[in-house]
Amino acid sequence: MNKLSIVGAGMVGEAAAQIIAREEFCRELMLIDVQGELAQGKALDVWQAAVESGSDTWVYGGSNAELLQDSDLVVITAGVPRKPGQSRQDVLSINLPILDSIMLDINRHAPAATVLVVSNPVDVLTYRAWCLSGLGRDRVFGQAGVLDTARMKCFIAEETGFSARDITALVLGGHGDSMVPLMRYCAVGSVPLSHFLSSQQIERIVERTRQGGGEILGLKKLGSACDAPGVAIAKMVDAIANGRNRILPAVAILEGEYGRTGIAMGVPCVLAEGGVARVIELSLDAQEQAMFDRSADQVVRDIAEMNAL
């Protein structure tokens, strides 16, 4: 990938930039923020760290939207984070006009760019970005499931004592309390998780995964999660930049999959060069489908709330 831009030089944007620059996922990396000098300072810091790691990626920062010019991929992390006691939906009224402004800049300066939305509420804002972009669903999608899956794997490793390297997990649905951890698809070394844990233990993991972001927010108090989201972004960028055809959960626009149309939901996708190459539709049992439907209904309500603003 030649050029990648991150809009939002906060803690999440900076964490992602550090990995992207160090691993040379692009030749040129832009950090763009309304606080231009902050973006410039962080860009220099990231660049110098990357150089010392042996990377040739160039990193620049600033506030001018023209920095988006010729971007292959734009990652949107801008917006206000949650505060303790807030839901992701609580920040919608603030982050919606921010996203609208960013999409206007992208359409003007980088209309051919693929767009990865990270800002919350990510399901709603991904849908909004897609509507404003005029692009296909392969080119506009969001990050949530990679982070949620990482959290679940962490909790499974803690509960079982096994290496996280051998753990596979999958989380679908909206990014929030209605997310759908698919425990039937979770395993340790290809052995189903139910072989090692009781239903009560598994339910604790499910609930902790759903509250994973809130747990960190409540403990940190002055900030939300940043390092794990940064790694999740970098993982998706790697799959796109290097055309890896990786199956990763992403917030995608549904076109009939799982019985839903015209909403953005977390589902398994094939990420390749250019974006979402394919949405994978799993066969859900009755209980899983019911959970997915509840999550989808919540996203529908959230989109209606957004449209009313």
Structural domain spans, the chain: 3-142, 145-308
Active site residue 175: yes
Q: Which CATH number fits domain 3-142: 3.90.480.20, 2.60.40.1260, 2.60.40.650, 3.40.50.720?
A: 3.40.50.720
95 is in an annotated binding site: yes
Residue 212: both structure tokens together: 């994973």
Give CA–CA dist 145/271, Å, rounded.
13
297 is in an annotated binding site: no
**Percent of the residues in the chain that have a pLDDT greater than 70, as a whole number:** 98
Give CA–CA dist 26/5, Å, rounded.
10
Judge whether residue 297 has pLDDT over 90: yes
pLDDT-based confidence at residue 88 (cuts at 50, 70, 90): low
Which residue of the set 42, 128, 137, 175 is catalytic? 175
* Residue 81 confidence (pLDDT): 78
111's enclosing H/E stretch is none
pLDDT-based confidence at residue 14 (cuts at 50, 70, 90): very high
Give CA–CA dist 136/235, Å, rounded.
22
Judge whether residue 86 has pLDDT over 90: no
27 is in an annotated binding site: no
- What DSSP state is assigned to residue 67? G
Residue 22: both structure tokens together: 């160090």
* Residue 266 confidence (pLDDT): 96
| Of 8, 3, 31, nearest in space to 229 by CA | 8
Mean pLDDT, rounded, for 116-120: 96
Judge whether residue 180 has pLDDT over 70: yes
Judge whether residue 13 has pLDDT over 80: yes
**Percent of the residues in the chain that have a pLDDT greater than 90, as a whole number:** 90
Contacts of 141 (CB under 8 A, 6+ apart): 115, 116, 117, 126, 250, 251, 252, 253, 264, 269, 275, 276
- What DSSP state is assigned to residue 189? T
CATH number of 145-308: 3.90.110.10
Place of tokens 């660049």: 47
Cα dihedral angle (66, 16, 140, 62), rounded to 10 degrees? Answer: -10
Give CA–CA dist 173/145, Å, rounded.
8
151 is in an annotated binding site: yes
Mean pLDDT, rounded, for 7-22: 98
Give CA–CA dist 263/125, Å, rounded.
11
Q: Are 176 and 297 spatial neighbours (Cβ–Cβ below 8 Å)?
A: no
Judge whether residue 42 has pLDDT over 90: yes
Q: Which amino acid is at 46?
A: V
56 is in an annotated binding site: no
Mean pLDDT, rounded, for 228-254: 98
Q: Are 17 and 47 spatial neighbours (Cβ–Cβ below 8 Å)?
A: no
Q: Which residues pair with 56 in a beta bridge?
A: none
* Residue 87 confidence (pLDDT): 67
